Each structure stands twice: as structure tokens, then as C-alpha cells.
Amino acid sequence: MKIKIICLGLIILSVVACQSKKTKNMIIQEIHSNWVFAEIDGTHTGKATVPGTIHTDLLANNFIEDPFYRVNEKEQQWIDKKDWEYTTIFTVSTEEFKKDNIVLEFKGLDTYASIYVNDKFLLNAHNMFREWEIDVKKLVKVGENKLKVVLHSPIKKGLELLENHYPLPAINDQSENGEMGNEKVSIFTRKAGYHYGWDWGPRLVTSGIWKPVLLKSWNQIKIKTVFIKQPKVTKSVAELVTEIELDITTNFSGQLRISNQETNEQYITETLKLENGVAKVSFPITIQNPKLWWTKALGEQNLYHFNVELLDEGNNQLASKDITTGLRSIKLIREKDEAGESFLFELNGVPVFIKGANYIPNDSFVTRVTTSDYEKVIKDAVDANMNMLRVWGGGIYEYDQFYELCDKNGLLVWQDFMFACSMYPGNKDFLENVKQEAIDNVIRLRNHPSIAIWCGNNEINTAWSHYSDGGWGWKEEYKEKQREEIQKAYLDIFHEILPTVVNKYTDGDDYWPSSPQAGFEPEKHAGYENPSGDMHYWGVWHGKHPFEDFEKYKARFMSEYGFQSFPDLETVKKYALPEDFNIESEVMSSHQRSGIGNLTIKEYMSWDYNVPTNFENFLYMSQVLQARGVRKAIEAHRSAMPYTMGTMYWQINDCWPVASWSSTDYYHKWKALHYAVKKAYEPVLLVTKEKEDTILVYGVSDLLEETKGELKLSLIDFDGNILKEISDEVLLIKNTSTKVFEIRKENFLAKVNSSKAVLKIELKKDEAVLSENLFYFEKPKDLQLEEPNFTTEIVEEDGEHFIYITSNKLVKNLYLNFKNQHIFLSDNYFDLLPNTTKKIKVTTTEVLDLKDLKLKHVQQVTNNIN
């Protein structure tokens, strides 16, 4: 077949598009009904759901119990050692059969799959992340046809590959839980790494048809891809190039049209004459005064809806494709400066401080993640004032819906390729598989304006640390020859294949080889001393550093850090029984996958709080502790702006109910951390610090104009008496952090008991409070907190419900909970100043009754009052 490349000149029209005659050239049939599964050489068989997984099918057919409940996961490790057969009957109509082309398209197969149509073998698939297309024109017939997919055990396949290769590091592969000893096979299979276990997730190694199966029939010509390149986008003009790839089976003569789907504005009308083969055609488009795409806080999320049509000489539509994108310029700026080298994102010419989180798949079984799940997690990010999520490299390249929601909601995406915390083989077949995986996913995702950067992998450069004495101790386990082989495979994947794909199939998207890394070159291993690149700081948690060390260890971009907590009791009850309610019980230990685990939470808690003995109170206090630690980190990073230009904590969500680093639990319920993040990510933030004998106040502003206001400091005792007040006119410099006040501590706290006072800081402009924060001079366990008396009221105002709550004493981390009710509160786990009424919006469809309201706070639980 010949390849024909056509590049056409600039054509700009501003007329209403002529209407084509819509014809049914392309027929798409989704094959999702009447599937059955059967265990090969076994007895398990039943109705199947496609898309789906074998685990969820076994669960639906009552062959297994909920894998997340108690320790059921342990009893289900046999599933991944089996081969499974999925079959269905699909019908081909006479109209479909008469088409020139009929293909089967598998959007996603997990993972080793043999495909048969009418008992004829077609293809062996071997990559969860790739799409597979098979010509079946000569195999199908009018009427019923049989489709069979044999899913081979990823464990048996992995063991075969391991036999022909020496073991490679894969520290999160929970092979022992899978009854495989130390035989770690995940690295040989292009499949979601977290399925094999992680330090926050179970080991549930799935097989399945995880994305739709399509039968496509058409004549003459098909649009394979459309890419809206954006070589130049400014406020005044967007110079675009529409690149279209066509699959032609019969010589084509007709018209190509490109228009705006919403406005009917026509950009291109061009006559084409194309021969059989694959053709690429390119058309420049200029849009004056474009409506730019911005992150949520900076502007509107304007989207353009392009429609590409191919029409025959009779004006009949033969093919059509719609592409939605946003017009924007996004760049990673790495420039030498006085401190080292910057690492910041610039959107439409504006430097943006990144406020975000790391994101993992929403479930161990991704096929049961619903639209509402995706909407909820994106809403949770936006409601917490985030502007970026990092799609982490041990999960999946997310479904299209995820990126569409990020586009619509103004969330940037840091997109990892799916490699994490392991070394990988470098044989020819594996490398070619990786290349095709990258091509498939870059092409699929490149039109999304939310994609800000492509990153090769998670933590491998620093873990292997080939060029230094550091690392995680991996390379020391190998002889020199094997080290060089492993390093060559690393360079082939992350410094050759992936950047080449990004360069070839995007219009200049930024690529970063590994997170963290101190520079683009492979020898630039990340370290606390490097004033360039990004950092994962795990001194807090893994290194047992105190929370105060977040102030010490800051990089140009903080892409990972965090601290764990438990979900609340209502969530724990969904996977545990009362007899399991002990942090060291088998069930609670099973739902904790970090090696140092639950006792580390307890140890850290003892440093800052009196540790409660009651189980429910301990769960609550773990969330308070987590929020305290991560908020310290965010305040340290934001106040270091512009040296530091991004902070993304680990992690926003969970894939099962578990004790983890998440700020929202598996059921998307906000933990204390998410409420704290919402406040710490507000556009204007006040941060108070103690440095030696001085109290410092920083004003951090993401706003794009200077802000003048009144800074007010109030020293208040725990009964509500104002002990001292200071006011000053201050200026916050736009888009940076500014020190706005300092005072000697001994002067400010003269004759004041620091364990019975709190500093309230406010920034006001025209009586409106732009930001407020509280600062304590002692650790929580050293504060002299008294039991409060509360006044509470539920009020309906204009159809909305609010809780008004007042206390006669200062209350630390007040948690309001309507047990067993689906309710969302606009604020929670907050400090309530004495004699101050707090108004909280309640979102619910249920009837509210104060009798159902339960209050919990630090002085209550640390005194072990139930």
C-alpha cells in the first residue's frame, strides 16, 4: 500500500458550513452482551460482564466473597493462576457484511489474550495498555458469529518469562501474599503494577476484557486520528495545525471539511484525491482572539469542538470525527537561576504554582469505577483548590472520561507512563511492546488541554541510582555485567523510546524521564541537596523525621510526600467486625500495606498528642495527625515560592478501604486532611513561623495582581479573651510569597502562658477576610485544653441547611458527624475559637436532626472520654 502525504495551504473561512448528506458508512457495534466465562480445566462458569474482570465476574456469580472484606483477599490468590475463557455470539447484519472493511477492535485486554472468531485464531495480545485491531472481513458471516477470548494466567506467563531472565527489583510486588515466595513476575508483564500489590493496596491480579469490544464496518475511507497541533497560542492569535491520518482502501476523491461543531464556523473546505493506503494530511488554521483554556483559579475552561468530515463527490458523508480541545500554551520552565535551576509550569505565559495531589486508580477493579466516582474525585480536587493531579505510574493510563473531566474543570495532569518502583527487561520484544503502548496512549490523550507533562516513570532513577552510591540498595545485588544490562534497558526505555514517542506524536509536549530527578540527564539523581528538578520527600514517615523537617527539606518542585491515617469508623465497619477493632489485629494489619504501618502512626501521634486508647478515637486522632503534618508541608512549600513552585502530596484517593496516605477514603469521604488541604490551597494564604526568637508571617498569593490589605494579629486565650492585638497595612506581591510581618517572640508573648493562647492572623481588604489562620506556640499535647460546652442549631436558609455551632472554650479539631447518613459538610475537623459562632453548610437529601449529630474533638478523645 502506498503512503501519501498531502500538506495544504492556509484556508480560513467564516461562513456557515454547507450541510452534508449524512450516510451510514461507518457502522459501529459494541459487543458487550451475552458473554459467558469458564475456567479452563476447572468448574467455575457463569454469566460475564464485558467490560469487566474475572474477579468481578466470580463475585457476581457468588463464587467468591467480597475481596475487600476482612482477609478474604488471602483466599482468592488462586484466581490469577488460572486460565479463563470468555465467549459470546455477535450478529453481523447484511448491511455490515457488504462493507469493504470489517474489523474487530479491542480497546483494552488484560492482559495475555488469544482471540478467536468462529474458532479461527486471530491474535495473541500481551499488553493491558494497548489497543488491538483485527481484520475479520474474511472470517465473519451474515448472522451469528462466535467470538472467543482466552485469557491466560498473568502469573503463569510471568513465571515463564522469569525462567528466561534473572530476577529484577520489584519491591511492591507482594509475591509472598500470592503464595509465590520471592518470585516477582510483575516487571515482565505490561499490566497495572498495583494489581500485584503496593504499600497501600491489595494483591488482586486481574484478567479480563477491561475496555469495550467494537465491530467496525465501513467502505472506502476511515479517519484514524485527528490531532489539533498548537504551535503558537497567545491571547491575540492561535495558530493551529490539524493533522489527520486516513486509512483508504479504495481510491478517494471528494472533500474534507473542518468546522466548529458548536458554532458551525467552517475553517477548511478542500478537495482531496487520495490513493489506497495510509495518508496524512495537514491543514493550518488561524483563530483570532481565541478563548484560552485556563486552570480553574486563573480563568475559564474554554473548549473548542472541531468536526472533521470526509464527503464523496455526491456530498455524502463517508467519515466524520469530533475532537474537543482547549487552546493554551503549557510549558515546563527549567532555567538557570541564582539557586540552581527552576522547575515550574507556565500556562499561557503565566507562571503557575502547582497545588495538587498524586492520583491512583479508584478501585482494584477499574471496570467498576463509575461516572459518579470520576466526577466525585475530580470535584474533590477542584473543591480543595487544586490545579493539578499526577496520574501515577503504577496504575493505568486512565479512561478518557477522567481527562475529559480534567479538561472541563481546569485541572492540569502530570501523566506518568506506567512504570514504577521496578527495573524492567530490555529485550527486543519487550521494548517494541513498550513503544507501541506509548504510541497508543500518547495519540489517545494528546488533544486534552489538561495534559501538562509526560513523565517516564516513578522513582526508578533514584532507586537504581546507577551513577552514585545512593539508591535503595538494588544495584548492589547484581554483578557488573547484569548492572550494565539493566541500566541499558533503563536508558533504552526512558531516554530513547518514550521521549522519542512524545517528540514524534505531540507538538512539543514536555517530557521528564523520572520523578524525582535533579535534571534531565540520567546521572542527575534526586537528592535533598539538589537545587533543581523535583523531589519525593519521605523523611517524614519512612525516615521518622518530625513534621518540622518539612521546613528543612524543600526542592524546586515537591512531587511526593505525605503521611498516613485510618479511615473513620463508618468506613472501617464496611470491611471489619468489632472483634477486629484493634490496630494490631489481623484484619487491620491486612488493611495496612506499608511495611512500618500502624505502629508508625501511633509513634508519631505520641510525639504531638496524648494517644487515645479507644479505637474509634484513635482513628479520629490519626486523621487529625495526618492533617497537621501535611498542612505543615504545604505551608512550607507555598511560603518558599518562587524557589519552590509546586506541591503535590501523596495521595488524594484509595483503591480499596485501607489505612493509607489518602485524603479521601475509598468511598470518597473526606478525611481531616482534605479539609486542611482545601484551606492550605486557597489563593491567598497566611503562614506563621517561629525562627529562633522571632515570629514571622508570610503572605502567599497566587493572584495575578498585587494585594493591599490590613494584617491583623490577635493573641487570644482559650476562654476567648483578647490578650494583644496588632494591625498593619501590608502588600502581597502577586504570584509569590512575601514576608509581611515579624516580631520578637518574647515581646509578643510577655507574661502570656503560651500553652493557653493561640495567635489568630487575618488579612482583610475592605472588611472582607481574604485569608485567616491560627498558630499555636506549643504542640497540641502541651496545650492546656479544657472541656467545652456547645450550643448548636440547624437552620434552613433559602432552601439550604446550615449548622451554627458555638463553644465557650477553644476546641481543637472539632469533628461533626451524622452517623450512618450521607452528608457533606463544608468544613470539618476545624479549630473553633471560644465565643465565636461557626456556620457550616450541610449538603444532604436526608432529614437532619440534632439528636443524630455527634461531636468529637482533641480534648475529648485524648482524655479518653467516649
What is the C-alpha to C-alpha distance for residues 750 and 754, in angstroms, rounded to an integer? 10
Domain identity same for 576 and 676? yes
What is the C-alpha to C-alpha distance for residues 304 and 190, in angstroms, rounded to an integer? 34
Domain identity same for 587 and 661? yes
Name the phi and psi angles at 183, rounded to 5: -85, 95
What is the C-alpha to C-alpha distance for residues 25 and 95, in angstroms, rounded to an integer? 10
Domain identity same for 700 and 800? no
Domain identity same for 340 and 451? yes
Confidence of residue 14 (pLDDT cuts 50, 70, 90): very low
Q: Model confidence over 605-660: pLDDT tens digits?
A: 999 999 999 999 999 999 999 999 999 999 999 999 999 999 999 999 999 999 99
Handedness of CA 617, 622, 624, 625 (dihedral sign): positive
Contact 687, 392 (CB under 8 A): no
Q: Model confidence over 773-800: pLDDT tens digits?
A: 999 999 999 999 999 999 999 999 998 9
Give 751-816 as a 3 state SS string. Answer: CCCHHHEEEEEEEEECCEEEEEEEEECCCHHHCCCCCCCEEEEEEEECCEEEEEEEECCCEEEEEE
Q: Which pLDDT score, from 0 to 100, does residue 18 have?
A: 42
pLDDT at 191 over 70: yes
Confidence of residue 22 (pLDDT cuts 50, 70, 90): low
Read off the pLDDT of each residue in 687-711 and give the average, rounded to a whole number: 95
Domain identity same for 542 and 609? yes
CATH code for the domain of 839: 2.60.40.10
CATH code for the domain of 107: 2.60.120.260
Domain identity same for 486 and 634? yes
H/E stretch holding 362 reads none
Name the phi and psi angles at 636, rounded to 5: -65, -40
CATH code for the domain of 646: 3.20.20.80
Least confident window among 116-130, 617-631, 663-677, 813-827: 813-827
Read off the pLDDT of each residue in 402-417 and give the average, rounded to a whole number: 98
Q: Is 795 exposed, middle or buried (0-12, 13-18, 19+ CB in 10 A)?
A: exposed
Domain identity same for 482 and 565? yes
Q: Which pLDDT score, from 0 to 100, does residue 8 have?
A: 38
Confidence of residue 21 (pLDDT cuts 50, 70, 90): low
Q: Which amino acid is at 767?
A: E
pLDDT at 808 over 90: yes
Residue 111, preceding peptide bond in cis (omega within 30° of 0)? yes
pLDDT at 1 over 60: no
Name the domain boundary from 764, 782, 800.
782
Cross-strand pairs, 388: 356, 412
Q: Which pLDDT score, from 0 to 100, does residue 262 have?
A: 87
b/e map of 46-60 (b: 16 or more CB within 10 Å)? Answer: eebbbbbbbbbbbbe
Domain identity same for 282 and 189? no
- Distance (Å) of CA 682 to CA 50, 419, 827: 42, 33, 14
Cross-strand pairs, 143: 92
The mean pLDDT value of the chain amounts to 95
Which range of residues forms the domain containing residue 457? 334-680
Name the domain boundary from 680, 705, 723.
680
Q: Which pLDDT score, from 0 to 100, does residue 845 have?
A: 87
Owner of C-alpha cell 524557589: 643
Name the domain boundary from 186, 215, 244.
215
Domain identity same for 185 and 202? yes
SS3 call for 854: strand
What is the C-alpha to C-alpha distance for residues 589 and 597, in angstroms, rounded to an integer? 8
What is the C-alpha to C-alpha distance for residues 340 and 331, in angstroms, rounded to an integer? 19
E strand intervals along 299-353: 304-312, 317-325, 330-333, 344-347, 350-352
Name the phi and psi angles at 60, rounded to 5: -65, -30
pLDDT at 711 over 50: yes
Read off the pLDDT of each residue in 444-470 and give the average, rounded to a whole number: 97
Give the residue among 354, 349, 350, 332 at the shortest CA–CA distance from 341: 332
Contact 861, 612 (CB under 8 A): yes
Q: Which pLDDT score, from 0 to 100, does residue 677 have?
A: 98
Q: Which pLDDT score, from 0 to 100, does residue 597 have?
A: 85
Q: Which pLDDT score, from 0 to 100, does residue 24 have?
A: 77
What is the C-alpha to C-alpha distance for residues 239 and 565, in angstroms, rounded to an integer? 49
pLDDT at 761 over 90: yes
pLDDT at 11 over 60: no
Q: Which pLDDT score, from 0 to 100, does residue 90 have?
A: 98
- Distance (Å) of CA 183 to CA 141, 159, 402, 481, 637: 46, 8, 34, 22, 41
Confidence of residue 595 (pLDDT cuts 50, 70, 90): confident
Domain identity same for 465 and 597? yes
DSSP string, 61-87: TTSS--TTSTTGGGGGTTGGGS-EEEE
Number of domains in the chain: 5
If you ran DSSP here, which 8-state letter would residue 15 be given?
S
Confidence of residue 528 (pLDDT cuts 50, 70, 90): confident
Domain identity same for 503 and 578? yes
Which grid cell is 134? 483485527
Domain identity same for 209 and 309? no
Confidence of residue 819 (pLDDT cuts 50, 70, 90): confident
